Chains A and B, each alone.
Chain A
């Protein structure tokens, strides 16, 4: 299945103000894999995720999502395949009620009323928030916001899920619920985070980025127990591994 492949080839990106955020990134993610992206603040994780559905286009290099090469024309098609959940759920939930927010994607995909309703219901039930459907986003707790943000993306049935810091600002219980939720997804997953315990738990593979280049790429349990590598990247051993 070349279907849900994500392939970065020597991707660089320079912001308009001259900041060089990605300096030649290459990797391939296969169908069904779940991959953690870790690195220090400002290493380029968010920038990388912004390329996945073409909000940013590479300055040089190519990105292939499934059979499509990312460019201005294909990005609309690619957005249907890749769902991105952002760092701050407040930026993601912009509609007046939870229901309308989760319905935003399906309606834009041109679905009829009935299927929209089905998708919204389904997505909200998966994240356990169907009861909140008539609430405005500003009445939700941080964890609920995060869950609804995820629902608003999975209601579009993406093949690939990308998330930026999904576990930040969550209390331990909500975090645990989120981890279980993520583990239950069969999608290809790409998760950028500083929460190495979560990465270890959810992702079998881990990519370490430093100053816009990949410095390590391999199985999570090996990479995340490499104390020296982690410390070079302002990271610490996951708590579970520290106790040993």
Chain B
């Protein structure tokens, strides 16, 4: 379920790049504070391990098809969420570069989809609480792998939809993606559990060692921080947007109502083309390009029939907000890092 460059708009790509880099920077910071020097080679080797393990296919029982390991959950279990996320990000980087799996611009999306949800949602909120008393380990692994992948798949659908390149209707795509990834998630959970169990059975000390030194303890407030951070940033962004809107009413077409307006697509099919076209014109970073003028009278007529459809502005507003959000997010991280550095 790697996102590809050709399916995303630059805005979505850049936005998720910012988010993922923020995540990496934050994790790196966390690791640096309490890392063992040994962790660097261990992380690297485990990344190489997952890579090698991904290359081998296995048959999925009862389906006749074959699959391969994802590894996100496994890495989180062995290394804890921060190191797990960083390693997953580097695996995806190598895949993007060497196998052209995904792409450079889509790399941010892919790190987010395949790394973030597993390391920072599924692992701390599902896996950790469930295995507290060393019970339900299988269930914990299974559920967290499934949830992690479900969120990732949903994220793929959202990114595709907001990029507006594919015409695949949101619901259809969602109905395609989620069930497939339910199956993939179950397999991932079973395999992850199997590997961890095999290793703890045959060499109990080896995992204890890597877990023992770096307990994989989740900073419970991290998730809270993210949620609160998003809320604050949304408000700030709203402020910035309304400032833009009031100080420059004719220029930037952003406004709060537009940003938070109804984003659904109208149902009627014959309007879709025009809507999406105008969406695309407004979304694209360089909106001066127009195709319709010369080649299409139909489209021109359509444009006149459905003038000033707000959806385009709405969506471009959402993107704008999204970028601002992400940038602010990143700035936040940076500021935080600087702040933390100063007293020490």
Contacts and interface: CB of A to CB of B under 8 A. Distances in A.
A and B in direct contact, judged by CB atoms within 8 A: yes
Interface of A: 16-17, 94
A16 B205 CA distance: 9
Interface string B118-144: 000000000000000000000000000
Interface string B202-219: 000100000000000000
Nearest to A17: B205
- Sort A-B residue pairs by CB-CB distance and give the 3 closest, nearest first: A16-B205, A17-B205, A94-B41
Nearest to B204: A17
Nearest to A16: B205
Contacts of B205: 16-17
Contacts of A16: 205
Contacts of A94: 41
Q: For chain B, which range describes its interface: under 10, 10 to 19, 20 to 34, or 35 or more residues?
A: under 10
Nearest to A15: B205
A136 to B, nearest CB: 14
A17 B208 CA distance: 13
A95 to B, nearest CB: 11
A94 B205 CA distance: 25
Interface string B149-178: 000000000000000000000000000000
Nearest to B203: A17
A17 B205 CA distance: 8
3 contacts: A16-B205, A17-B205, A94-B41
A59 B205 CA distance: 19
Interface string B25-45: 000000000000000010000
B108 to A, nearest CB: 25
A32 to B, nearest CB: 35
A156 to B, nearest CB: 19
A119 to B, nearest CB: 24
Nearest to B209: A16
A116 B185 CA distance: 51
B230 to A, nearest CB: 38
A17 B41 CA distance: 23
B55 to A, nearest CB: 16
A17 B203 CA distance: 10
A17 B206 CA distance: 11
A165 B238 CA distance: 67
A16 B203 CA distance: 12
Nearest to B44: A94
A94 B41 CA distance: 9
A48 B205 CA distance: 22
A16 B41 CA distance: 22
A151 B205 CA distance: 34
A17 B209 CA distance: 12
Contacts of B41: 94
Nearest to B45: A94
Nearest to A94: B41
Contacts of A17: 205
A204 B283 CA distance: 79
B37 to A, nearest CB: 12
Interface in B4-42: 41
B225 to A, nearest CB: 35
A170 B205 CA distance: 34
A127 B41 CA distance: 27
A197 B205 CA distance: 39
Interface in B37-72: 41
A1 B41 CA distance: 39
A55 B329 CA distance: 43
B100 to A, nearest CB: 21
Nearest to B41: A94
Interface in B205-252: 205
A17 B204 CA distance: 10
B93 to A, nearest CB: 15
B295 to A, nearest CB: 51
A166 to B, nearest CB: 23
A17 B202 CA distance: 13
A16 B206 CA distance: 11
B314 to A, nearest CB: 48
A140 to B, nearest CB: 18
A17 to B, nearest CB: 6
A166 B205 CA distance: 30
A121 B184 CA distance: 52
Interface string B187-207: 000000000000000000100
B45 to A, nearest CB: 10
A94 B40 CA distance: 12
